[in-house]
Amino acid sequence: MKHQTIRGKILYTSRKPGREGQERGREYFAMTRHTDGKVTIRAQCEIEEPDPTVLRDAVYSLDEHNRPMDFHLRLTVGDKFMGSGWFRFGEDFIECESYGPSIGRLSQRVPMNGHFDGFGTHPIIGDAYMCKVIDVSKGPHKRKLRVFLPSVDHRGATPPQIVESGITLEYVGEEEATTPAGTFACRHFRFLGEDGGMVSKDGEHPTYDMWVTADEDSLFVKGGVGGYMQTWYELVELQR
């Protein structure tokens, strides 16, 4: 085969008082890079805590310019089917065909109305890959991103449908990071909730720090969310 595939595992742990370091979920991912420059990212995400549990299966493809092509999603929440959907990105529109017990059959076609920066898929590996839109040659800075999402819930635990949001992403600088998977040259980024772009059922989403490999793959290495969430994520296995 001519393509190259990277596989790994991200461990989800808690930093809440009394639960420090306890495993609360995991994410298995694979990134396939083709000789024509196109990329497909696959992720299976398991969130055990807090209840209800979330199981997400996601497949996301981008073209040689890192522009979204299509996205497939299936969600199980509380061990019950929540919904499934297929998204396609045209020249000037996004379309979605989805189904869920609470929404029935949903067909959407939404105009892009100009440039957008990316698609927030919800797997952690996808969060890291979105950081590629920042021009790191400008040095540390931050800017507002225009993104589309399949859900604005911070766990993505709602039936799939097209939603638009604004998120501020900050580039902090280059740092080395070490996890059980190894030591990596990284770039430190922050997703900020300061403009109301990151929301959750409990209000404004706390700051989300992440360290991402400083190469074309932009792999998630470590990171976490503070505030009321108190979560931590870490790359524990990697096969290249």
**Tens-place pLDDT, residues 100-115:** 999 999 999 999 999 9
State the pLDDT confidence band at 60, using cuts at 50, 70 and 90: very high
Q: How many domains does the chain have?
A: 1
- Over 90: is that where the pLDDT of 228 sits? no
CATH of the domain at 145: 2.40.360
Containing structural domain, residue 227: 4-239
**48-52, 125-129, 202-206 — which is least confidently predicted?**
202-206
pLDDT of amino acid 88: 98
Mean pLDDT calculated for residue range 144-149: 96
pLDDT of amino acid 233: 98
- Over 60: is that where the pLDDT of 200 sits? no
pLDDT of amino acid 207: 93
**Residue 19 and residue 48: Cα distance in Å, rounded?**
13
pLDDT of amino acid 202: 53
Give the global pTM: 0.94
Q: What is the mean pLDDT of the chain?
A: 94
pLDDT of amino acid 63: 97
pLDDT of amino acid 196: 52
- Over 80: is that where the pLDDT of 194 sits? no
